[in-house]
Amino acid sequence: MNTHETVSPPVGVVAARYRPPAGSSDAGRVDLDGTWGFRLFDTVDTGVARDDPGADWDRLEVPGHWQLAGAPDSWPYGTPAYSNLLFPFPIEPPFVPDANPTGEYRRTFTVPDGWPAGGRTLLRFEGVDSWFEVALNGEVVAVSHGSRLPTEVDVTDRLRSGENLLAVRVTQWSAMSYVEDQDQWWLSGIFRSVSLEHRPAGGVDHVRLHTGYDATTGQGTLTVEVESDAEEPVRVEVPELGIDTVAGQSVSTAVEPWSAERPRLYDVVVTAPGERVVLAAGFRTVSIRDGVFLVNDAPVKLRGVNRHEFDPLRGRSVTPERMLEDVLLMKRHHVNAVRTSHYPPHPHFLDLCDRYGLYVVDENDLETHGFLEEGWAGNPVDDPAWEPVLVDRVTRTVRRDAHHPSIVLWSLGNEAGSGCNVAAMVRAVRTLDPTRPVHYEGDFSSDEVDVYSRMYAPTELTELIGRGVDPALQRADADARRRAMPFVLCEYAHAMGNGPGGLSDYDELFDRYPRLMGGFVWEWIDHGLTRKDADGTPFAAYGGDFGELFHDGTFVADGMVLPDRTPSPALREFAAVSAPVRLDTAPDGASLVVRNRQAFRGTDHLAFEWTLHRGHDVLATGTLPGISLAPGERVTVRPPADLPLPAAGRDPLWWTLRAVQPEADALDESWVQTPFTVSTGQLLVGAPVLPPVAHGPARTVERGFAVGPARFDRAGNLRELHGRRVAEFRVDAWRAPTDNDRRSAMWEGPSDQSVWEHSGLHLLAERKVGAGLGPDGEFVVTARTAGPRTRNGFRTTCTWRAVADDPDAVDLHVRIDPEGRWGASIARTGLLLALEVADADATTVDWSGLGPGESYADSRRAAVGGAWRHTVAQWQTNYTHPQENGARRGVTHAALGFADGTSLVVEAGTTRLGARSLTGVELSLRPWSDRALGLAAHPHELVPDGLLWMHLDAAQHGLGSASCGPGVLPNAQLHPAPVELTLRFGV
């Protein structure tokens, strides 16, 4: 008997077939989604008869996961659990524990009046996790698996007039759990739609749609192969092209090709005697030549993301509205490709990719990552007994999805090791569809696949691969084959928390080397499930938040959008880096290079609009005419010669050029929110005027010293600034660790956090060395700041001067000299100032510098110079797991407006880091301390503490991608070096 622990393909099911878009077939269909009867049992042996209607059972919505049935308020059927790599059960394939939650589902239905006579009637399940048994009217008719794959069961001979009872038994664990270990929440149940489908006699049972394109002639070739029991030819029409032919015949005609840039679709009408279907066809050809990946004979770079299906309340049961939201967000942020990690998506998502234009790597429902822990012993991918199951899975994937023009690669799966079944799966794919290349990162030698793939290759290795001089394999034949392939990073730039850093470094390599076809950032969305705490406050939960004893914590929160689909700074950075038309500063620093990086589209649809601005004032505007670039072309532009440059002022003077799409056309659909800014470039045409050096004297007062509005005790501690109590003022070199700081880069060596803690940076304490008046009346405070267990520290000299013509201002010059033997990086270098401020989160911040969002040394492409305004609350990024966030670089002027009507203005003069001169400071503001930020598990746990915490840094360490990949690259690392800061505090 085929049970949940049997290794064999599904039983009692019909052959996999294509899935036409919803509503595109005139065959009968009944939606069985809705409220079903449900009862959960602890084991597979539920003791429930298949003909038990479950009249008094609970009610459960289908599609959905039973663990999320009461979310976010209650969890009546167990809770979700998250693990990344390791199996949450003993490794003993194909067996799973006896404790195996099993759901019994019941649904009654009546075949509707007017249901067509003749033909066949199928039950279709789009997705059930993990193993399930189907019974109709008390009789078992099928058992199936392949959680993210469809199952169809022929029930024609078992239907009865009147009411029919559908019984589905679903297990949480099965033998198939060993091949579905896909770095996500373990969630169970009927999570995609269920329907009753009529297959009419003489209908269109399956379609193979071949739509090639010859870029030389502009001709498209259409061949439609149909599986049907029709006795007469099946008719194929493309009305827009005047095509009227029969299935199996090839027709060529002039067409507009499909690409992600220009997703041109044609309606292909397939008419059999019993059924009419309309498919959306895109004419395009995918090929590889001389190690370069081509679409329609043009080199294409994949600037993509890995996408799990996820909703914070529904898990993998994603609605069409959510799918559309994802696609529109991707298009608006210059994502041009999606890897469907690590299973075929809901078919509607592929319809959207066809329509809006996204290249897709369609991945098979396969991952066996948990076997890695034991050296891949017993791995199904290398076990001949599993070959029928794995070939079945990839066959179902290709047959369901092959008609989609958006799919440009098939992927066998993810992190499933190597072995004999790789070749078997590849043979199955090529038999079904020889027109697309095959991808599988686990085929390290690339013996079977068509593209060379790696995960998280550092930029150094990626460049070697691009040059074709990467380390050789032992087998010369395999090495030669691999070097002739294009290279793709199927995962890179782990977007966990604040990060990734280094996107620009990878993107530059993609542009430089033809062999590099791009990559896919891990990943699209944080999988934070919405739940409520004891007080009813909702928050995004990750591993461990449901009391599970075995979990991988925050590692599920690693996307470029937050769980509610709010774009994170990482997505805005990705958009700026991946812009199809880039505006980059030329080496001369006085001009911009406009680069059209598109493969098929010119720039005639764009306007190049410029502004001359200082602070919030726009001084002049205009448009640069005549920038008409064909794909791949570039041009250098300069500001107009008659630009009205004013006299130098307090704020920087910027010339900003934007490539703007003023209106959408038919192929842009609704994703373009016009006017849509495609890209931004800037030139600094006027440096800010620094405040003159103050020469006013300090004075002694009762119990200390006064310098303008600053008050000090006798030891030199700053106690008051503009009448506000100062809770802390000292040098700082620590930050609340990011997720990337907490982990070792490429799983080697200590993490940045451990390096910083070894240096005592998280427990810095200050010792005043001296305080007194200098020879010119200035107030000089010397100190040493260091952490425990180390001789390393920072020697600091703070020189305070009153501003003679402004009693409300005070100048500060700081010299910070690192002492000791430092072996590695530090988190930041600068000053920490904590002021007593009621309602600190309501404080307004009006600043000149980079903005409007946060920026770091290796994540700054999206930052634009100008003047911006936020509240301190808006200044924060509420990452799913709290951590360092919110830094703004290049700040020359910041005006803080407090809730009580008072203010504080900070101006930055000269900033030096080692031998480098920097513009402004890196400013961070929070209503809580770094320590509180570092200890909080979720954003709602952070509570303002009555202080405004301000960092005035010369620099911060970069972000990197060490949570799963390379750490901070040398060009963004921060090492101890002498620092000088010049600041003015006023009102």
Residue for token digits 């298949």?
Answer: 50
The CA distance from 136 to 128, in Å, is 17
Catalytic residues: 415, 491
The CA distance from 476 to 454, in Å, is 19
Tokens (6 digits) for 438: 């095959």
Closest among 195, 204, 226 to 119, alpha carbons compared: 204
Tokens (6 digits) for 129: 């996790």
How does DSSP assign 630-654, residue by residue?
-TT-EEEE---TT-------SS-EE
Contacts of 783 (CB under 8 A, 6+ apart): 716, 730, 731, 766, 767, 768, 769, 795, 796, 798
User: b vs e for 38-68, b when ≥16 Cβ sit within 10 Å of the residue's Cβ?
Assistant: bbbbeebebebebebebeebeebbbbbbbbb
The CA distance from 757 to 760, in Å, is 5
Tokens (6 digits) for 294: 């081509």
Contacts of 846 (CB under 8 A, 6+ apart): 867, 868, 869, 894, 895, 897
Query: Are the C-beta atoms of 548 and 556 separated by less than 8 Å?
Result: no
Amino acid identity of residue 526, one-letter, is D
User: b vs e for 480-492, b when ≥16 Cβ sit within 10 Å of the residue's Cβ?
Assistant: ebbbebbbbbbbb
Closest among 247, 245, 192 to 224, alpha carbons compared: 247
Question: 3-class DSSP state for residue 728?
Answer: strand
Neighbouring-strand partners of residue 927: none
Largest CA distance in the chain: 107
How many angstroms separate the Cα of 874 from the Cα of each of 294, 841, 853?
Answer: 43, 8, 10
Question: 3-class DSSP state for residue 866?
Answer: strand
Query: Are the C-beta atoms of 584 and 593 separated by less than 8 Å?
Result: yes
